[in-house]
Protein backbone atom coordinates (compact mmCIF):
# COMPACT_ATOMS: atom_id res chain seq x y z
CA UNK A 1 0.00 0.00 0.00
CA UNK A 2 1.33 3.44 -0.88
CA UNK A 3 0.84 6.10 1.72
CA UNK A 4 -0.83 9.22 0.43
CA UNK A 5 1.03 12.51 0.46
CA UNK A 6 -0.38 15.32 2.55
CA UNK A 7 -1.99 18.38 1.00
CA UNK A 8 -2.86 21.39 3.11
CA UNK A 9 -4.37 24.78 2.37
CA UNK A 10 -6.55 27.50 3.81
CA UNK A 11 -8.44 30.65 2.99
CA UNK A 12 -8.97 33.61 5.31
CA UNK A 13 -12.55 34.50 6.23
CA UNK A 14 -12.22 38.15 5.30
CA UNK A 15 -14.95 38.56 2.69
CA UNK A 16 -17.11 36.87 0.12
CA UNK A 17 -15.30 34.13 -1.85
CA UNK A 18 -14.81 35.02 -5.51
CA UNK A 19 -14.06 33.15 -8.70
CA UNK A 20 -10.38 34.16 -8.39
CA UNK A 21 -10.17 32.22 -5.12
CA UNK A 22 -11.89 29.31 -6.78
CA UNK A 23 -9.87 29.04 -9.99
CA UNK A 24 -6.60 30.04 -8.30
CA UNK A 25 -6.80 27.80 -5.26
CA UNK A 26 -10.06 26.34 -3.94
CA UNK A 27 -10.84 24.19 -6.97
CA UNK A 28 -7.77 22.11 -6.26
CA UNK A 29 -9.09 21.29 -2.79
CA UNK A 30 -11.86 19.37 -4.53
CA UNK A 31 -9.90 17.94 -7.44
CA UNK A 32 -7.18 16.45 -5.25
CA UNK A 33 -9.04 15.06 -2.29
CA UNK A 34 -9.04 11.47 -3.53
CA UNK A 35 -5.31 11.45 -4.12
CA UNK A 36 -4.03 13.16 -1.00
CA UNK A 37 -4.49 13.10 2.70
CA UNK A 38 -6.01 16.52 2.86
CA UNK A 39 -6.26 19.27 5.47
CA UNK A 40 -8.29 22.35 4.59
CA UNK A 41 -9.00 25.02 7.14
CA UNK A 42 -10.39 28.47 7.71
CA UNK A 43 -7.57 30.81 8.68
CA UNK A 44 -9.45 32.79 11.31
CA UNK A 45 -6.38 33.68 13.39
CA UNK A 46 -4.96 35.22 10.22
CA UNK A 47 -8.23 37.05 9.59
CA UNK A 48 -7.89 38.77 12.97
CA UNK A 49 -5.05 40.85 11.48
CA UNK A 50 -7.67 42.69 9.45
CA UNK A 51 -11.14 41.99 10.93
CA UNK A 52 -11.87 43.28 14.43
CA UNK A 53 -15.61 42.80 14.56
CA UNK A 54 -16.78 39.70 16.41
CA UNK A 55 -20.09 39.23 14.60
CA UNK A 56 -18.56 39.87 11.21
CA UNK A 57 -15.76 37.36 11.79
CA UNK A 58 -18.26 34.75 12.97
CA UNK A 59 -20.44 35.32 9.94
CA UNK A 60 -17.57 35.20 7.44
CA UNK A 61 -16.17 32.07 9.06
CA UNK A 62 -19.42 30.12 8.88
CA UNK A 63 -19.98 31.31 5.32
CA UNK A 64 -16.55 30.16 4.21
CA UNK A 65 -17.19 26.74 5.74
CA UNK A 66 -20.41 26.55 3.71
CA UNK A 67 -18.53 27.68 0.59
CA UNK A 68 -16.01 24.87 0.95
CA UNK A 69 -18.78 22.32 1.30
CA UNK A 70 -20.73 23.78 -1.62
CA UNK A 71 -17.80 23.56 -4.04
CA UNK A 72 -17.48 19.90 -3.12
CA UNK A 73 -14.95 19.59 -0.30
CA UNK A 74 -16.06 16.30 1.24
CA UNK A 75 -15.58 16.02 5.01
CA UNK A 76 -15.30 12.25 4.63
CA UNK A 77 -12.18 12.71 2.54
CA UNK A 78 -10.86 16.00 3.87
CA UNK A 79 -10.15 17.18 7.39
CA UNK A 80 -12.04 20.47 7.32
CA UNK A 81 -11.54 22.65 10.37
CA UNK A 82 -11.08 26.03 11.99
CA UNK A 83 -7.51 27.17 12.46
CA UNK A 84 -8.37 28.34 15.98
CA UNK A 85 -9.52 24.86 17.02
CA UNK A 86 -5.83 24.00 17.02
CA UNK A 87 -4.30 26.61 19.33
CA UNK A 88 -1.03 24.64 19.19
CA UNK A 89 -0.21 26.47 15.93
CA UNK A 90 0.23 29.70 17.84
CA UNK A 91 2.70 27.97 20.15
CA UNK A 92 4.63 26.65 17.18
CA UNK A 93 4.54 30.11 15.57
CA UNK A 94 6.08 31.50 18.75
CA UNK A 95 8.90 29.00 18.62
CA UNK A 96 9.48 29.86 14.95
CA UNK A 97 9.45 33.56 15.86
CA UNK A 98 12.48 33.01 18.02
CA UNK A 99 14.36 31.62 15.00
CA UNK A 100 13.28 34.32 12.55
CA UNK A 101 15.00 37.66 12.14
CA UNK A 102 13.24 40.98 11.73
CA UNK A 103 15.09 41.90 8.49
CA UNK A 104 14.06 38.57 6.98
CA UNK A 105 10.35 39.13 7.65
CA UNK A 106 10.63 42.77 6.59
CA UNK A 107 11.22 41.53 3.04
CA UNK A 108 7.80 39.85 2.82
CA UNK A 109 5.59 41.38 0.09
CA UNK A 110 2.46 41.70 2.23
CA UNK A 111 4.33 43.66 4.87
CA UNK A 112 6.16 45.83 2.34
CA UNK A 113 2.90 46.62 0.51
CA UNK A 114 1.15 47.60 3.73
CA UNK A 115 4.09 49.78 4.74
CA UNK A 116 4.24 51.39 1.31
CA UNK A 117 0.59 52.38 1.71
CA UNK A 118 1.49 53.89 5.07
CA UNK A 119 -0.81 51.51 6.88
CA UNK A 120 -0.06 51.12 10.55
CA UNK A 121 1.08 47.52 10.42
CA UNK A 122 0.10 45.43 13.40
CA UNK A 123 2.56 42.89 14.77
CA UNK A 124 0.21 40.11 13.68
CA UNK A 125 0.39 41.22 10.07
CA UNK A 126 4.17 41.42 10.25
CA UNK A 127 4.28 37.93 11.71
CA UNK A 128 1.61 36.53 9.37
CA UNK A 129 4.04 34.37 7.33
CA UNK A 130 5.35 32.68 10.46
CA UNK A 131 1.89 31.66 11.63
CA UNK A 132 1.31 30.36 8.13
CA UNK A 133 4.60 28.42 8.31
CA UNK A 134 3.37 26.87 11.56
CA UNK A 135 0.07 25.92 9.87
CA UNK A 136 1.87 24.21 7.04
CA UNK A 137 4.65 22.49 8.94
CA UNK A 138 2.51 21.29 11.83
CA UNK A 139 0.67 18.73 9.70
CA UNK A 140 3.64 17.66 7.61
CA UNK A 141 2.25 19.06 4.36
CA UNK A 142 4.00 17.87 1.21
CA UNK A 143 2.12 20.25 -1.05
CA UNK A 144 0.27 23.52 -0.55
CA UNK A 145 -2.09 24.59 -3.36
CA UNK A 146 -2.38 28.38 -3.44
CA UNK A 147 -2.55 31.26 -5.87
CA UNK A 148 0.65 32.83 -7.12
CA UNK A 149 0.41 35.66 -4.56
CA UNK A 150 1.07 33.16 -1.76
CA UNK A 151 4.26 31.73 -3.24
CA UNK A 152 6.55 33.79 -1.06
CA UNK A 153 4.76 32.57 2.05
CA UNK A 154 5.45 28.97 1.08
CA UNK A 155 9.09 29.87 0.59
CA UNK A 156 9.15 31.32 4.10
CA UNK A 157 7.66 28.06 5.41
CA UNK A 158 10.36 26.12 3.57
CA UNK A 159 13.14 28.31 4.99
CA UNK A 160 11.67 27.97 8.46
CA UNK A 161 11.50 24.17 8.25
CA UNK A 162 15.09 24.00 7.05
CA UNK A 163 16.33 26.35 9.73
CA UNK A 164 14.60 24.47 12.51
CA UNK A 165 15.84 21.13 11.19
CA UNK A 166 19.40 22.46 11.00
CA UNK A 167 19.38 23.70 14.58
CA UNK A 168 17.34 21.04 16.37
CA UNK A 169 17.51 18.01 14.09
CA UNK A 170 15.20 16.63 11.40
CA UNK A 171 11.64 17.49 12.47
CA UNK A 172 9.71 19.15 9.66
CA UNK A 173 9.00 18.20 6.08
CA UNK A 174 9.92 20.89 3.55
CA UNK A 175 6.69 21.68 1.64
CA UNK A 176 6.24 22.47 -2.06
CA UNK A 177 3.85 25.08 -3.41
CA UNK A 178 1.26 23.80 -5.91
CA UNK A 179 0.40 26.65 -8.24
CA UNK A 180 -1.74 26.11 -11.31
CA UNK A 181 0.47 27.23 -14.16
CA UNK A 182 -2.43 27.93 -16.48
CA UNK A 183 -4.23 30.14 -13.98
CA UNK A 184 -1.74 31.85 -11.70
CA UNK A 185 -3.63 35.12 -11.30
CA UNK A 186 -7.30 35.51 -12.18
CA UNK A 187 -7.97 39.06 -13.35
CA UNK A 188 -10.81 41.07 -11.87
CA UNK A 189 -13.39 43.18 -13.69
CA UNK A 190 -10.87 46.04 -13.91
CA UNK A 191 -8.03 43.88 -15.24
CA UNK A 192 -6.06 43.94 -11.97
CA UNK A 193 -5.77 40.79 -9.82
CA UNK A 194 -9.25 39.83 -8.69
CA UNK A 195 -9.24 40.60 -4.98
CA UNK A 196 -11.70 41.34 -2.19
CA UNK A 197 -9.63 44.39 -1.38
CA UNK A 198 -10.01 45.90 -4.90
CA UNK A 199 -13.78 45.54 -5.20
CA UNK A 200 -13.35 44.00 -8.66
CA UNK A 201 -14.67 40.53 -7.91
CA UNK A 202 -17.28 38.18 -9.31
CA UNK A 203 -18.66 36.37 -6.28
CA UNK A 204 -18.40 32.60 -6.34
CA UNK A 205 -22.06 32.33 -5.41
CA UNK A 206 -23.24 35.53 -7.04
CA UNK A 207 -26.81 35.84 -8.32
CA UNK A 208 -27.45 36.04 -12.08
CA UNK A 209 -28.06 39.76 -11.70
CA UNK A 210 -24.80 40.31 -9.82
CA UNK A 211 -22.89 38.35 -12.45
CA UNK A 212 -24.42 40.44 -15.24
CA UNK A 213 -23.69 43.66 -13.45
CA UNK A 214 -20.06 42.71 -12.79
CA UNK A 215 -19.42 41.56 -16.37
CA UNK A 216 -21.12 44.59 -17.93
CA UNK A 217 -18.90 46.86 -15.84
CA UNK A 218 -15.69 45.52 -17.44
CA UNK A 219 -14.10 48.39 -19.37
CA UNK A 220 -13.35 47.84 -23.08
CA UNK A 221 -11.92 50.02 -25.83
CA UNK A 222 -13.99 51.65 -28.57
CA UNK A 223 -13.35 49.14 -31.39
CA UNK A 224 -16.42 48.41 -33.50
CA UNK A 225 -17.95 44.99 -34.03
CA UNK A 226 -16.20 44.26 -37.33
CA UNK A 227 -12.74 45.42 -36.30
CA UNK A 228 -10.13 42.75 -35.48
CA UNK A 229 -9.24 42.70 -31.78
CA UNK A 230 -6.25 41.43 -29.86
CA UNK A 231 -7.70 38.96 -27.31
CA UNK A 232 -4.69 39.38 -25.03
CA UNK A 233 -5.58 43.07 -24.64
CA UNK A 234 -9.21 42.46 -23.70
CA UNK A 235 -10.26 42.26 -20.03
CA UNK A 236 -13.41 40.38 -20.99
CA UNK A 237 -11.44 37.77 -22.89
CA UNK A 238 -9.05 37.41 -19.95
CA UNK A 239 -11.97 36.08 -17.88
CA UNK A 240 -13.22 33.89 -20.75
CA UNK A 241 -9.85 32.16 -20.47
CA UNK A 242 -10.96 30.58 -17.19
CA UNK A 243 -13.11 28.30 -19.33
CA UNK A 244 -10.71 26.64 -21.79
CA UNK A 245 -11.86 24.46 -24.66
CA UNK A 246 -12.97 24.60 -28.26
CA UNK A 247 -15.45 27.40 -27.60
CA UNK A 248 -12.68 29.56 -26.24
CA UNK A 249 -10.51 28.91 -29.28
CA UNK A 250 -13.40 29.76 -31.60
CA UNK A 251 -13.90 32.99 -29.69
CA UNK A 252 -10.20 33.79 -29.92
CA UNK A 253 -10.40 33.38 -33.69
CA UNK A 254 -13.44 35.66 -33.91
CA UNK A 255 -11.59 38.32 -31.93
CA UNK A 256 -8.62 38.15 -34.30
CA UNK A 257 -10.71 38.08 -37.46
CA UNK A 258 -13.15 40.74 -36.37
CA UNK A 259 -16.88 40.18 -36.28
CA UNK A 260 -17.51 40.02 -32.56
CA UNK A 261 -18.38 43.06 -30.51
CA UNK A 262 -17.68 43.48 -26.80
CA UNK A 263 -21.39 43.30 -26.01
CA UNK A 264 -21.67 39.83 -27.51
CA UNK A 265 -18.45 38.72 -25.81
CA UNK A 266 -19.83 39.93 -22.49
CA UNK A 267 -23.17 38.17 -23.04
CA UNK A 268 -21.32 34.92 -23.76
CA UNK A 269 -19.22 35.38 -20.64
CA UNK A 270 -22.29 35.97 -18.49
CA UNK A 271 -23.79 32.74 -19.83
CA UNK A 272 -20.65 30.76 -19.09
CA UNK A 273 -20.31 32.10 -15.58
CA UNK A 274 -23.96 31.49 -14.76
CA UNK A 275 -23.77 27.91 -16.07
CA UNK A 276 -20.79 27.29 -13.83
CA UNK A 277 -22.06 29.05 -10.70
CA UNK A 278 -25.75 28.04 -10.70
CA UNK A 279 -25.37 24.41 -9.51
CA UNK A 280 -22.94 25.40 -6.76
CA UNK A 281 -25.26 28.17 -5.67
CA UNK A 282 -28.12 25.69 -5.32
CA UNK A 283 -25.94 23.41 -3.21
CA UNK A 284 -24.80 26.35 -1.14
CA UNK A 285 -28.43 27.26 -0.39
CA UNK A 286 -29.16 23.71 0.76
CA UNK A 287 -26.13 23.67 3.05
CA UNK A 288 -27.07 27.03 4.54
CA UNK A 289 -30.36 25.57 5.73
CA UNK A 290 -28.56 23.41 8.27
CA UNK A 291 -25.80 25.45 9.96
CA UNK A 292 -25.73 22.99 12.90
CA UNK A 293 -24.47 20.28 10.56
CA UNK A 294 -21.71 22.61 9.37
CA UNK A 295 -20.59 23.33 12.94
CA UNK A 296 -20.50 19.61 13.62
CA UNK A 297 -18.26 18.98 10.60
CA UNK A 298 -15.87 21.71 11.75
CA UNK A 299 -15.81 20.39 15.30
CA UNK A 300 -15.01 16.86 14.20
CA UNK A 301 -12.36 18.07 11.78
CA UNK A 302 -10.84 20.20 14.53
CA UNK A 303 -10.51 17.19 16.79
CA UNK A 304 -8.67 15.20 14.14
CA UNK A 305 -6.33 18.09 13.32
CA UNK A 306 -5.68 18.88 16.95
CA UNK A 307 -4.65 15.32 17.75
CA UNK A 308 -2.04 15.50 14.98
CA UNK A 309 -0.81 18.87 16.25
CA UNK A 310 -0.59 17.76 19.86
CA UNK A 311 1.56 14.83 18.93
CA UNK A 312 3.82 16.98 16.79
CA UNK A 313 4.22 19.52 19.57
CA UNK A 314 5.40 16.86 22.00
CA UNK A 315 8.31 16.21 19.67
CA UNK A 316 8.96 19.93 19.12
CA UNK A 317 8.83 20.75 22.84
CA UNK A 318 11.21 17.95 23.56
CA UNK A 319 13.62 18.99 20.78
CA UNK A 320 13.88 22.65 21.78
CA UNK A 321 14.21 21.93 25.51
CA UNK A 322 10.83 23.04 26.80
CA UNK A 323 10.15 19.60 28.16
CA UNK A 324 12.11 18.73 31.29
CA UNK A 325 13.64 15.32 31.54
CA UNK A 326 16.04 14.19 34.25
CA UNK A 327 18.86 12.01 33.11
P1 LIG B 1 -8.10 38.09 -1.69
O2 LIG B 1 -6.91 38.60 -2.45
O3 LIG B 1 -9.35 38.29 -2.46
O4 LIG B 1 -8.18 38.66 -0.28
P5 LIG B 1 -7.25 35.66 -0.37
O6 LIG B 1 -5.99 36.33 0.04
O7 LIG B 1 -8.24 35.35 0.69
O8 LIG B 1 -7.93 36.52 -1.54
O9 LIG B 1 -6.88 34.33 -1.15
C10 LIG B 1 -7.34 33.02 -0.91
C11 LIG B 1 -6.69 32.07 -1.91
O12 LIG B 1 -7.12 32.41 -3.23
C13 LIG B 1 -5.15 32.14 -1.94
O14 LIG B 1 -4.60 30.87 -2.20
C15 LIG B 1 -4.88 33.08 -3.08
O16 LIG B 1 -3.61 32.87 -3.64
C17 LIG B 1 -5.99 32.72 -4.05
N18 LIG B 1 -6.36 33.87 -4.87
C19 LIG B 1 -6.91 35.03 -4.45
N20 LIG B 1 -7.13 35.87 -5.48
C21 LIG B 1 -6.71 35.22 -6.59
C22 LIG B 1 -6.67 35.56 -7.98
N23 LIG B 1 -7.12 36.73 -8.42
N24 LIG B 1 -6.14 34.66 -8.83
C25 LIG B 1 -5.68 33.46 -8.40
N26 LIG B 1 -5.70 33.07 -7.11
C27 LIG B 1 -6.20 33.94 -6.20
N1 LIG C 1 -2.35 33.34 3.71
C2 LIG C 1 -3.32 32.57 2.99
C3 LIG C 1 -4.15 33.52 2.12
O4 LIG C 1 -4.16 34.70 2.31
C5 LIG C 1 -4.23 31.79 3.94
C6 LIG C 1 -3.49 30.77 4.73
C7 LIG C 1 -3.24 30.78 6.07
C8 LIG C 1 -2.90 29.60 4.21
N9 LIG C 1 -2.54 29.67 6.45
C10 LIG C 1 -2.31 28.92 5.32
C11 LIG C 1 -2.81 29.05 2.93
C12 LIG C 1 -1.64 27.71 5.16
C13 LIG C 1 -2.13 27.84 2.78
C14 LIG C 1 -1.54 27.18 3.89
O15 LIG C 1 -4.81 33.08 1.24
CATH number of the domain at 264, please. Answer: 1.10.240.10
Ligand nearest 242 Cα, by number?
1
Cα of 39 to ligand 1 centre, how many Å?
A: 18
CATH at residue 73? 3.40.50.620
Helix, strand, coil share (%) of the chain residues, nearest 5: 55, 10, 35
Please indicate, yes or no, whether residues 111 and 169 belong to a single structural domain of this protein. yes
- How far the first Cα of the chain sits from its last, in Å, is 40
pLDDT at 22: 95
Put simply, whether the predicted model's pTM sits higher than 0.85 gets the answer yes
Count of structural domains within the chain = 2
Kindly state whether residue 195 falls inside one of the protein's structural domains: no
Q: Which residues line ligand 1 (CB under 6 A)?
A: 11-12, 14, 20-21, 24-25, 146-147, 149-150, 185-186, 193-197
Instruction: Give pLDDT tens digits for 6-34.
Output: 999 999 999 999 999 999 899 999 999 99
According to DSSP, the residues that pair with 42 across neighbouring strands are: 11, 82
Residue owning the nearest CA to atom 14 of ligand 1: 146
Per-residue pLDDT for 325 more than 90? no
Atom of ligand 2 nearest to the CA of 131: 9
pLDDT at 2 (0 to 100): 65
Domain that holds residue 44: 6-185+291-320
51 and 139 inside one domain: yes
> How far, in Å, CA of 80 to CA of 62, rounded?
12
Which pLDDT band holds residue 196 (cuts at 50, 70, 90)? confident
Residue whose C-alpha is closest to residue 68's, from 12, 39, 30: 30
Q: What is the tens place of the pLDDT at every residue in 133-154?
A: 999 999 999 999 998 889 999 9
Task: Tell me the CA–centroid distance for residue 49 and ligand 2, in Å.
Answer: 13
pLDDT of residue 324: 93
Asked if 121 and 249 sit in the same domain, the reply is no
Mutational pocket test of ligand 1: of 43, 149, 150, the residue with most ligand atoms within 8 Å of the beta carbon: 149
Residue 307 has pLDDT above 80, yes or no: yes
Amino acid sequence: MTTKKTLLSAVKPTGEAHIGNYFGAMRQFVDRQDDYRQYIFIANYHALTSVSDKLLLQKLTLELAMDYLAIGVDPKKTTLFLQSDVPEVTELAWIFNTLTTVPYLSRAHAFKDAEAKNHEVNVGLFDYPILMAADILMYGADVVPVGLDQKQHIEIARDTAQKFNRIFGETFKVPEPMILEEVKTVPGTDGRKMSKSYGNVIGLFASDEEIKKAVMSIPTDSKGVEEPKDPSECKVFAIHELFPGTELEALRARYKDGGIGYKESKDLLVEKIIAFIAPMRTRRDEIARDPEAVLKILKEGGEVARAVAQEKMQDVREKVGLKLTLK
